């Protein structure tokens, strides 16, 4: 496992005559210049395929190239230093631009206006925590990874309780209920084949691994995930996993010393409805809150490069979406940073924090392009949403661990 050390500045030599990287002439045709120069992938409204652009950068890193993430410049554009990535961009419809001045490099960008590049060097190894059975919902992160053609592997309970995360840099959790209550869906869902299969697999796994029941198994998995973060892992969670992970870590009655993001919450009774008082939208209740919009915060890369990387986007405000856990009330621990709000800026939607040598980032809601996704609904087709600002937040997290890596001493 590797620990990243993020530079406050990327070794920049500011040029007073250049206030930033000016808009450049798009490349036309498939002929590369004889003397190859790094090329720009703009990420503002000019880019028709921003989601696929993340895959271009990821593959360039995986093939030994590098890229500079031009934070707060044209939606968080990329300067790519890898010749094959140019053809890759052309093949996938990703718009590229040449530099105005061939002498200008990422390190000559002006610091004025809060712009700064971050060097991306090593493609992170990615894992998604997902069940071996086919659950009738979709994981937005897997959809994003597959659309961008970014490789990942699937891990489950045996992996997390064994050595399955030893070489994993970035771990994603989505819809999982770590409290062992299987989502608190109620009687209608309990009669379905997929639900019965989920219960069977979890009970069999708990027995094989020496746990008394599925609840004890899931709490052990939650503790293993916490230790993964503490040892230097990057965790990204969405939907129910954002809430139920901390509920499992807290126990019942809850104590908050071992939770990641939340404190001073209360568990919700009943077999249907919210898990706790963390969620602000209370989807499966009569008090369900109407959706409003997600509002991204803005961060200066020279002050907080991590928050800036996680919030790069071509939109600062865009439609909100539901999930079993949609938003977060004012139960955040001190030091947890709010990256985006919702509900007229009264609730947190997107948060980030540190634990030990690692980090965690939680994004509320289930699918950024399906505001009310229900069990059994068809998966979102990102061919119709290639410029989704919500899905861009997911892919920001995928590239985030690539910034300035160093081996962690173990």
Domain borders along the chain are 2-120, 126-407
CB 194 within 8 A of CB 185: no
* Closest residue by Cα to residue 398 from 141, 222, 129, 166: 141
Q: What stretches of 11-119 show up as alpha helix (H) in DSSP?
A: 50-62, 83-91
* Closest residue by Cα to residue 365 from 392, 393, 327: 327
pLDDT at 102 over 80: no
d(CA 348, CA 341): 4
More confident residue, 15 or 290: 290
d(CA 63, CA 408): 22
Q: What stretches of 271-358 show up as alpha helix (H) in DSSP?
A: 305-310
DSSP letters, 365-404, are SS-TT-TT--TTPPPP-GGG-TT-HHHHHHHHHHHGGGBS
* pLDDT (tens digit per residue) in 135-183: 767 899 999 999 999 999 999 999 999 877 989 999 999 888 899 888 7
CB 265 within 8 A of CB 276: yes
More confident residue, 284 or 68: 68
* Closest residue by Cα to residue 130 from 148, 108, 145, 111: 145
The whole-model pTM stands at 0.89
pLDDT at 193 over 70: yes
Res 297: pLDDT: 98
* The CATH fold of domain 126-407: Rossmann fold (3.40.50)
pLDDT bin (cut points 50, 70, 90) of residue 104 is very low
pLDDT at 128 over 80: yes
Structure tokens at 298: 């803005």
The mean per-residue pLDDT over the stretch 295-323 comes to: 96
The burial class, CB within 10 Å (0-12 / 13-18 / 19+), for 200 is: exposed
pLDDT bin (cut points 50, 70, 90) of residue 249 is very high
CB atoms within 10 A of CB 93: 11
* pLDDT (tens digit per residue) in 203-241: 999 999 999 999 999 999 999 999 999 999 999 999 999
More confident residue, 297 or 197: 297
The mean per-residue pLDDT over the stretch 287-309 comes to: 95
* pLDDT (tens digit per residue) in 18-34: 334 443 434 434 444 44
* pLDDT (tens digit per residue) in 109-121: 544 455 678 999 9
* pLDDT (tens digit per residue) in 195-208: 888 889 999 999 99
Q: What percent of the chain has pLDDT over 90?
A: 67
Helix axes 193-208, 214-230, angle to 10 degrees: 70
* pLDDT (tens digit per residue) in 370-404: 998 888 889 999 999 999 999 999 999 999 999 96
Residues contacting 248, CB < 8 A, separation 6+: 178, 179, 180, 218, 219, 221, 222
CB 71 within 8 A of CB 116: yes
What is the chain's Cα-based Rg?
21
Q: What stretches of 231-278 show up as alpha helix (H) in DSSP?
A: 240-250
d(CA 366, CA 369): 9
């Amino acid at each position: 496992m590797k620990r990243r050390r993020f530079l406050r500045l990327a070794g920049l030599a500011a040029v007073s005559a250049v206030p930033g990287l000016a808009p450049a002439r798009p490349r036309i045709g498939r002929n590369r210049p004889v003397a190859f120069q790094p090329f720009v992938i703009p990420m503002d409204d000019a880019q028709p395929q921003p989601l696929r652009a993340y895959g271009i950068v990821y593959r360039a890193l995986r093939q030994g190239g590098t890229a500079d993430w031009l934070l707060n410049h044209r939606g968080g554009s990329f300067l790519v230093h890898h010749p094959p990535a140019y053809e890759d961009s052309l093949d996938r419809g990703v718009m590229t631009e040449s530099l105005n001045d061939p002498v200008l490099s990422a390190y000559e960008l002006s610091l004025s206006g809060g712009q700064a590049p971050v060097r991306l060097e090593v493609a992170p190894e990615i894992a998604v925590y997902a069940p071996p059975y086919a659950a009738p919902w979709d994981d937005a992160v897997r959809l994003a990874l597959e659309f961008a053609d970014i490789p990942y592997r699937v891990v489950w309970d045996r992996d997390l309780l064994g050595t399955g995360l030893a070489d994993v840099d970035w771990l994603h959790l989505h819809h999982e209920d770590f409290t062992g209550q299987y989502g608190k869906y109620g009687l209608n869902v309990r009669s379905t084949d997929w639900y019965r299969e989920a219960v069977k697999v979890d009970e069999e796994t708990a027995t094989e691994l020496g746990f008394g029941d599925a609840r004890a198994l899931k709490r052990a998995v939650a503790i293993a995930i916490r230790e993964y973060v503490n040892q230097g892992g990057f965790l990204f969670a969405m939907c129910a996993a954002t809430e139920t992970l901390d509920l499992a870590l807290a126990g019942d009655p809850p104590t908050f010393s071992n939770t990641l993001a939340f404190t001073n919450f209360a568990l919700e009774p009943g077999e249907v409805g919210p898990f706790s008082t963390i969620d602000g939208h209370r989807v499966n209740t009569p008090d369900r809150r109407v959706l409003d919009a997600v509002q991204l915060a803005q961060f200066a890369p020279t002050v907080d490069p991590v928050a800036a990387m996680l919030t790069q986007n071509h939109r600062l405000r865009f439609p909100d979406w539901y999930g079993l856990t949609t938003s977060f009330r004012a139960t955040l621990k001190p030091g947890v940073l709010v990256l985006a709000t919702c509900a007229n800026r009264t609730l947190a939607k997107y948060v980030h924090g540190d634990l030990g040598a690692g980090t965690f980032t939680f994004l509320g809601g289930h699918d950024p392009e399906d505001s009310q996704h229900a069990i059994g609904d068809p998966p979102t087709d990102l061919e119709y949403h290639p410029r989704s600002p919500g899905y861009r937040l997911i892919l920001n997290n995928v590239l985030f661990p690539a910034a300035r890596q160093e081996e962690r001493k173990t």
